[in-house]
Amino acid sequence: MGKTRVLVLGGTGYMGKRIVRACLDQGHTTYVLQRPAQEIGLDIEKLQMLLAFKEQGARLVEGSFSDHQSLVNAVKQVDVVICTMSGVHFRSHNILMQLKLVEAIKEAGNVKRFLPSEFGMDPALMGHALEPGKVTFDEKMTVRKAIEESKIPFTYVSANCFAGYFAGNLSQLGTLLPPKDKVGIYGDGNEKVIFVDEDDVATYTVKTIDDPRTLNKTLYLRPQENILTQRQLIEKWEKLIGRTLEKFHISAQDFLAPMKVLDYATQVGLGHFYHIFYEGCLANFEIGKEGEEASQLYPEVQYTRMDTYLKRYI
């Protein structure tokens, strides 16, 4: 099944670099969009990453979201397009820029599959989300609408919680490291959450690109052993370090109380945390006929369990 020609946009980003590696590892002819010199400027780390990809066998193709024809030309060289532009406000939030990419794919007319930048909660299920965090889901749905109206073949990837942001810190806000003494528990800590290693997200994502079972469907990443409550995640950490952390509970009311005085990006994140840990939005529904579950489709993927993942923090 290898040798599909894949174009990755945002290839030097948090998920993008993993998608590029997964494409190369799975034997696909991998193209990475390289911004023109004036846009790269002096961002030497990204340039060096692009050059490293080139050494590993990727092909660099110049293009810019401010140059429609360059996007069309890039897209015409491939079978599959994967976009990994950031959609989180504390980094950069560029979801609607994908509308330019949709137009380029539509004009090129050759793409067999487009995977837009999603990789989190399924936005189709988040119409009730709290403001201002609802903007993330609304914008992703705007992109979906454009894709489907343009009749572009697609796969959407709902990867749930990236372990780097939600597992290593035991799901504590404002830190990436596990707490040393006290840990906050949201509500009773018993809502089911789904944690996935980011490299596994990339592996599963790339598996879909020429799989007819995922055509025009949403792929949900629900590796069975990584469906855990926050309490269970904390217990795994406590077992690893051989001691018990002091726990304090945060009610939904107390969690949301400071919302209005926080900066915009934090408000967005707080709303998303609320839906995950108080509402249980990741696992409180059954996957319907419009979706597939990744670990069932691809049982050969040896995904990272969270007790193994947490060992790196000791």
- CA–CA distance, 74 with 58 (Å, rounded to integer): 14
Nearest to 116 by CA among 164, 169, 92, 152: 152
Beta bridge partners of 83: 9
Q: For residue 260, give every residue at least 6 positions away whose Cβ sits within 8 Å of its Cβ, in sequence order, or none.
A: 267
| Three-class HEC string of the chain | CCCCEEEEECCCCCCHHHHHHHHHHCCCEEEEEECCHHHHCCCHHHHHHHHHHHHCCCEEEECECCEHHHHHHHHCCCCEEEECCCEECCCEECHHHHHHHHHHHHHHCCCCEEECCCCCCCHHHCCCCCCCCHHHHHHHHHHHHHHHHCCCCEEEEECCEEHHHHCCCCCCCCCCCCCCCEEEEECCCCCEEEEECHHHHHHHHHHCCCCHHHCCEEEECCCHHHEEEHHHHHHHHHHHHCCCCEEEEECHHHHHCCHHHCCHHHHHHHHHHHHHHHHCCCCCCCCCCCEEEHHHHCCCCCCCCHHHHHHHHC
Compute φ and ψ for 157, nearest 5 degrees: -115, 120
Q: Exactly one of 17, 106, 134, 140 is catalytic; which is it?
A: 140
140 is catalytic: yes
Catalytic residue positions, numbered: 140
